[in-house]
A and B are shown apart, each in its own frame.
Chain A
Amino acid sequence: MVYIVALLSVIFLGLAVLVISRMAAVVKSTRGPVEEGRIGMSNRVNAALFMVFFVVGLVGAVWSFWYASDFFLPEASSPHGRRTDFLFWLSMAIITVAFLVTNALLFFFAWRYQHREGYKAAYYPENHKLELIWTVIPAVVMAILVFTGWRAWRDIMSEAPADAQVFEIVGKQFNWIVRYPGVDDNKLGAYNYKLIDNSNDTGIDYTDQASFDDFTSTTELHIPVNKPVLLKIRARDVLHSVFIPHLRVKMDAVPGMPTRFWFVADKTTDEMRNITGNQDFGYEIACTEVCGRGHFSMRIRLVVEDEASWQAWCKEQKPLLSSTPELAARIPANLKAKAAKYLPADAPAAPADSTTASTQQGGGVSIARTTIR
């Protein structure tokens, strides 16, 4: 490291001296008109530098790629992600070839056809055949890429299978809230943004009985492995974007316009720990649409587990209604009886302990508190 710094300092110093001496020379030189038509040494130097640049640049590019590839995301944990990964590297291979060939020609021609005294350039204004060829070749390559990409896109964006497990994820400044459909009916209840307040941070509508068993979390999303998962995405305030890097999932969260994305996660968190050799590995959900001050830290964890433990985990969670019994006041009279089993016996009088979010099992229920950073 010290050597690199020393080397760089020397280079910088050298450059600085070069620049300054040249400036001095400019200032000193006479201000007469320039002599015309003098093409000398610098032309050759510049031409040669193009070749040097190309060779050194190539070495740099290869080395840096090799160095950086250690930190690329590991293989996707979703079938659609592996498909797009494959297409990505395929396209990458094609454009790398194009990149090398075109840049090589550019720099090589620059060097090869540098000015030579007495030589006259070729008068070569056009060649329709050549132009046709290089219109058609990119067009064909592009058509192939587009077609494969389009089929992948179509499949990824298709309607979710009917048996998909549904979750809701809601973006707000500056965290995600996930809502589970609940173990009793496995159905998300209705919502309305006007019902949002501190005790009901996703605006669950308790006139819909499907809402009674719904529970929410601001720290973790647990999903079953190898099962289609449908994320219903919405935003409370401004745009956000759900980004699950390891699953190759991204979709904006838009206020007033629910969006969705379905996928299958096929490696559990534990499996990924073994694959990556990192015992602390955890899936994460990030935000990729700028949403304000806390945009860079809207993290929520994602836990992928086998179906049985997922079921068990869900059963342990308390419906929001149970942990926040004052919400019972919003239940219409005709549904009160149905809601009773979610409420403590003396509800809705006593507010229950509302800070059940346990960091130990990392999840459970938590109440919306506007986090101020």
Chain B
Amino acid sequence: MISLAGRDILHSWGKYAFTGVGLGLLIGVTLSMAGIYRGMVDDGKALLANSGADLWVVQQDTLGPYAEPSSLRDDLYRSLRGLPGVLRAANVAYLTLQIEHAGQEVRAMLVGIQPGEPGEPRYLIAGRPLERAHYEAVADVKTGFQIGDAIQIRRHRYTVVGLTQRMVSASGDPMVFIPLRDAQEVQFLKDNHALLNERARVLANPALNRPGVPGLAEALFSSQENSRMVNAVLVQVAPGWDAETVAQPIRRWKQVQAYTRPQMEEILIAKLIATSAKQIGVFLVILAIVSAAIVSFIIYTMTLGKLREIAVLKLIGARNRTIAGMILQEALGLGLIGFAVGKTVATLWAPYFPKYVLLEPGDAVRGLLAVLLICALASLVAIRTALQVDPATAIGG
């Protein structure tokens, strides 16, 4: 038996191609949405993996440092270094801000790190790591910065000395690494205007600016300007040690919490991006319904245009199965054309998204199955109509 559906598609290929492209764009949007979700998950994993940490020590009762604000005293890392199983421990500070660059604003996550310690970006695609104690930066390429660029952050100018790739925050903002001290200052200290204001107020206060105690005001300034807080301590465990084992005694300490990598992943993926994931989920459901409505409408219209042929087929003895099969195959054919177009356009436009879009082959397979299922369901109305056609209508009155 020849394929009636195949012949019909070939015969009116223009109509199928046109409709398939329309459907394909819709499928492309759907695949991209899934890719955006996968990209968010992958960004989260990359964020954890690239930090080089096995344990995140954060403020008690918080999900910090990525999901909730967390602050710790900056000498805590010394006590951690003394624990059994801890290879290295280093302070990190995180803060998201707008950086002005070449007349444009870049939203970036500022990361304060200690050179050579956990938290430092492990792979650079250009330049060198931070070496000097101040005013150097390593930026992710997505910021658009280049080596040698000078960037202004609050009170200071930083020189970009190295570039990283795929170092983004949980919300997709590219990272800019600067020395920890600088980051603490940016995070916890005030700008020049506020500083001058405070100094003036201290100097105007006779209790603090005593003629008999000349160093008092200076000491106050310096203690105000020196931040003693960080957002988290990243811990690398010694070879042969299990992160969970190392974490247990830390959790008994007051005022701190320790998360292992799997726990951090859970926080990032299940909690932090849960709302976005649901958002995308709802969107996917709507797209599926819209696609189904479009496919059923198209297949139904195409079937209405073939009622006479269907009546003739029935008259000359075609089985219901043959006719239903023809319509079903045409719907599936349309789905396949749509999927091919959708996969292609999703791949083509993925790089233009500001956030990472990860098109997983597994999602493509699931998408294909969903498209075929939707097309099959969508053809039911048309099949019902076709099966109700009376072969007598082929003979006429």
Query: Do chains A and B interact in one complex?
Result: no
